[in-house]
Chains A and B, each alone.
Chain A
Amino acid sequence: MSTLNVDKLGMTYELPNNQSVEALKDVSFDLESGRILTLLGPSGCGKTTMLNIIAGFLSPTAGTVSVAGSRVTGPGQERGMVFQQGALFEWLNVEQNVSFGPRMNGADPTETAAKTADLLNTVGLSGFGQKAIYELSGGMQQRVALARCLANDPELILMDEPLGALDALTREKMQGLILELWDRTGKTIILVTHSVEEALFLGDRLFVMAPRPGRIEREYDLPFARLGLTEDPRGLKNSPEFVEKREEILSLIWDMEEEIMGRDGEAA
Chain B
Amino acid sequence: MANKFESTENLAAGYGQGKDGTKLIERRRPNRNSGAVARKTVTFGDGSAVTGNRNISLLTAVGLFVLWAVAEQLNLTDPTFFPGPVKTAEEFWLVLTTDSFDRTYLHQHVLASLQRILLGFGFGVLFGVPVGLAMGLSNAARAVFDPIIELFRPVPPLAFIPLLIIWFGIGEASKVIMLFFAAFFIMVIAARSGVLGVKLSKVHAAYSLGASKTQILRNVILPNALPEIFVGMRVALGVCWGTLVAAELIGADQGLGAMIWQARTFFRNGIVVFGIIVIGLIGVLLDQLMRKAEERFIPWRGRG
Which residues of A are in contact with B by a Cβ distance under 8 Å?
55, 57, 74-77, 79-81, 83-84, 86-91, 100-101, 104-105, 132-137, 148-149, 151-152, 154
Residues of B within 8 A of A55 (CB): 204, 208
B 145-201 contacts with A by CB, 8 A: 199, 201
- With beta carbons under 8 angstroms apart, the residue of A89, A135, A152 that contacts B210 is A152
Whether B38 sits at the interface, judged by CB under 8 Å, is no
Q: Is the beta-carbon distance between B220 and A89 smaller than 8 angstroms? A: yes
- With beta carbons under 8 angstroms apart, the residue of B204, B215, B220 that contacts A81 is B204
- Known pairs A87-B199, A136-B20; A77 contacts B204 (CB<8 A): no
Chain B residue nearest to A104 (CB atoms) is: B211
When A and B form their complex, which 4 residue pairs have the shortest distance between CB atoms, in order from nearest?
A101-B209, A134-B303, A75-B207, A87-B201
A-B contacts, 15 of them at CB < 8 A, read: A79-B208, A80-B209, A81-B204, A81-B208, A86-B304, A89-B202, A100-B209, A104-B206, A104-B210, A134-B303, A135-B21, A137-B20, A149-B209, A152-B210, A154-B208
Q: Is the beta-carbon distance between A148 and B199 smaller than 8 angstroms? A: no
- Known pairs A101-B210, A135-B21; A87 contacts B215 (CB<8 A): no
- With beta carbons under 8 angstroms apart, the residue of B208, B211, B212 that contacts A80 is B208
- Known pairs A89-B220, A90-B300, A91-B226; A104 contacts B215 (CB<8 A): yes
Q: Is the beta-carbon distance between A152 and B209 smaller than 8 angstroms? A: yes
- With beta carbons under 8 angstroms apart, the residue of B19, B204, B210 that contacts A87 is B204
Which residues of B are in contact with A by a Cβ distance under 8 Å?
19-21, 199, 201-202, 204-212, 215, 219-220, 223-224, 226, 298-300, 303-304
Q: Is the beta-carbon distance between B19 and A134 smaller than 8 angstroms? A: yes
Residues of B within 8 A of A105 (CB): 210
Q: Is the beta-carbon distance between B220 and A90 smaller than 8 angstroms? A: no
Chain B nearest Cβ from A109, distance in angstroms: 16
Q: Is the beta-carbon distance between B300 and A132 smaller than 8 angstroms? A: yes
Chain A residue nearest to B19 (CB atoms) is: A134
Chain A residue nearest to B298 (CB atoms) is: A91
Chain B residue nearest to A96 (CB atoms) is: B219
- With beta carbons under 8 angstroms apart, the residue of B201, B209, B298, B304 that contacts A104 is B209
Q: Is the beta-carbon distance between B210 and A57 smaller than 8 angstroms? A: no
Residues of A within 8 A of B226 (CB): 91
Q: Is the beta-carbon distance between B209 and A148 smaller than 8 angstroms? A: yes
Q: Is the beta-carbon distance between B224 and A87 smaller than 8 angstroms? A: no
User: How many angstroms between the C-alpha atoms of A84 and B204 in the bound complex?
Assistant: 13
Chain A nearest Cβ from B141, distance in angstroms: 23
Residues of A within 8 A of B224 (CB): 91
Residues of B within 8 A of A151 (CB): 209
Residues of A within 8 A of B205 (CB): 81, 83, 87, 148
User: How many angstroms between the C-alpha atoms of A75 and B211 in the bound complex?
Assistant: 10
- Known pairs A133-B300, A135-B21; A86 contacts B201 (CB<8 A): yes
